[in-house]
A and B are shown apart, each in its own frame.
Chain A
């Protein structure tokens, strides 16, 4: 049973470019979460999506960041016009639809974004 998959694992972008991070949830999971990890701040929630719906985006910066989880295909976290402060590790997690263990989230290996 494949785990959460993220690609690319490493991404280098110049200031002003766009970054697209992809996440495929575990089989049978339809809830996707994105987190950002900075060295001094720990893991911070960004957005929670179900298929074709954004449920909670309270952790997303107001500008330049967007996320989607289409009916077909992976979830995408998109960062437009990247700045150096966007350099971080971005993690995707998924959880089951519902039931006893719906509160458990399983993480992918992350995408390390470096903005030069």
Chain B
């Protein structure tokens, strides 16, 4: 069974701090996606990582895919209140027909 485990489950920080959230699995994924979801809305795709060791940057967000394609991390530099939300990682199941989601990291950034 493919599972994605995210940590920490909750993170509460002050504006300006840096943070890293993790997405781990014992299974290999061909790609991983990161989404951000705000209350009452659907997940919004942030990035897809495909190649082992790949690093992608999106403004203050840095995404890394592990060399073995079993894990990924999201690093946020100088967090802002607008970064508040639920961060989800997801990967395609073995059949390629659906996304498997981690339970997410709920981030709260206060000013």
Contacts and interface: CB of A to CB of B under 8 A. Distances in A.
A91 to B, nearest CB: 5
B92 to A, nearest CB: 6
Interface stretch (B66-74, B76-84, B93-101): B93-101
A22 B93 CA distance: 25
Contacts of A42: 88, 101-104
Q: Which 6 A-B pairs have the closest CB atoms?
A: A107-B42, A45-B98, A56-B97, A42-B103, A43-B101, A48-B97
B27 to A, nearest CB: 16
A108 interface: yes
A21 B86 CA distance: 24
B42 A108 contact: yes
A33 B42 contact: no
B28 interface: no
Interface residues of B, number: 25
A72 to B, nearest CB: 24
Nearest to B104: A42
Contact of B98 (A4, A6, A59): A59
B43 A103 contact: no
A10 B71 CA distance: 36
A45 B102 contact: no
A109 interface: yes
A12 interface: no
Contact of A91 (B31, B43, B45, B103): B43
B42 A110 contact: yes
A109 B100 CA distance: 19
Contacts of B88: 42-43
Contacts of B64: none
Most buried by B among A44, A103, A104, A106: A103
Interface string A86-116: 0000010100000001011111111010000
Interface in B17-53: 30-31, 33, 35, 40-45, 48
A33 B99 contact: yes
A104 B98 contact: no
Contacts of A55: 97
